[in-house]
Amino acid sequence: MITKRFTNLALCGASASLLISVNAVAGDCSSARKDIVNTAVTAGDFRTLVAAVKAADMVDTLKSPGPFTVFAPTDDAFAKLPAGILDSLLKDPDRLGAVLKYHVVPGNVWANDVVKLSSAKTALGQTLAISTGRSVKINDANVIKTDIEASNGVIHVIDTVLLPKNDIIETARGAGSFKTLLTALEAAGLTDALRGDGPFTVFAPTDAAFAKLPEGTVEALLSDLPKLKAVLTYHVVPGKVLAKDVVTLSEARTLQGQRVHIDSSSGVRVNNSRVVKADVGATNGVIHVIDTVLIPG
C-alpha cells in the first residue's frame, strides 16, 4: 500500500500534509512549498530529470500554476535505460518533450487517489496503466515514494523511466521527417484522435512534401482549421491497410469521406503522390510515407 510517511521527511502543518523540500527535511516549513521544478532540484535525486526538463524547454510549463502530478524517475531510473537512448533523447527536444509529458498527469492525483485508479491520461495524450496490490506500479515502474508536495502539484517517485507507446503520433515523431505534419495535426485538434485505438492507415507526407506546396499554402491551411482538418483526414483510411493490401486496391475511402485513387502498376501511387516507404508499424495502425500532400477535390 502506498504510504504518505517517508524516512527523514518532516511532517509539517496542522493538516499533517507532507511538504517535501530541503527546508521541510530540516524542520522549517515556512518555505517548504516550491514549484515542481524547484522541488525536484532540491530533492537531489532528479538531476537527470531536471536536465531533461531544461533540454526540452519545459521549465516554464512545470513552473506554471498547473496543478500537475509528476511520476518522477530518479537518476538511477535514467541510468537503467539502454545505452544511447538518453543521449539520443537529449539531442531531440521534440521526442524528449513527448517522453516527459508521458510522466505528467494534469491535476493533483494524491496517493490515496492513485490506488483507486486503473489508468490515468497523461499530458502527452496517452494513458498510463496503474496496478495496485502489495506495491503500486505505473506501467512497469514501481512507485517508491509518494505525495511529495509542491506549490503547483505533487510528485510521486518511480524507479523506471516511462517510454510512450509507439502510436501513430509517436512513430511519426520518432522518424524525424514529419514535423510539419505533426504541427498541422496538433493545430487541427487531431493528435488525440490518432492516439486512439484505431487502427488507422496514414498516408503521411514528409516535411519535403509539404515544402513542395505553393508558397503560403501551409500558412493558409494553418489559419483555416476546417480546411486543414479536411486535408489531414483525407490522408487517413480507417483500418490497418498494409502494403500487400494496398496493391490489391484501386481506391480507398478516407476519414474525410472522399476516396483516394490507388495505382500499383509501377510502384504505388496514391492520387498524384508516390509511396516512398511502406508499412511503418505503429501500435494503433500503419504509416505509408508519401512524397506529395494529398488535397481533396
Question: Quick one: 149 and 16 in the same domain?
Answer: yes
CA distance linking residue 275 with residue 273, whole number of Å = 7
Total number of domains in the chain: 2
Q: What is the chain's pLDDT, residue by residue, as a tens digit (297 residues)?
A: 333 322 222 223 322 232 333 333 333 343 457 999 999 999 889 999 999 999 999 999 999 998 999 999 999 999 999 999 999 999 999 999 999 999 999 999 999 998 899 999 999 999 999 998 888 999 999 999 999 999 999 999 999 999 999 999 999 998 989 999 999 999 999 999 999 999 999 999 999 999 999 999 999 999 999 999 999 999 999 999 999 999 899 999 999 999 999 999 889 999 999 999 999 999 999 999 999 999 998
In a domain, 282, yes or no: yes
Residue that is last in its domain, among 136, 158, 180: 158
Residues 6 or more apart whose Cβ sits within 8 Å of residue 28:
none
* 127, 158, 189 - which closes a domain: 158
Range of the domain at 122: 11-158
- Confirm whether 1 is domain-assigned: no
What's the predicted TM-score (pTM) here? 0.78
Q: SS3 of 4, please?
A: coil
Same domain, 215 and 134: no
140 torsion bin: left (phi>0), alpha (psi -120 to 50), beta (else): alpha
269, part of any domain: yes
- Looking at the structure, tell me whether residues 247 and 151 fall in a common domain: no
In a domain, 4, yes or no: no
- What are the Cα distances from residue 230, in Å, to 149, 261, 287, 290, 295? 44, 17, 18, 18, 9
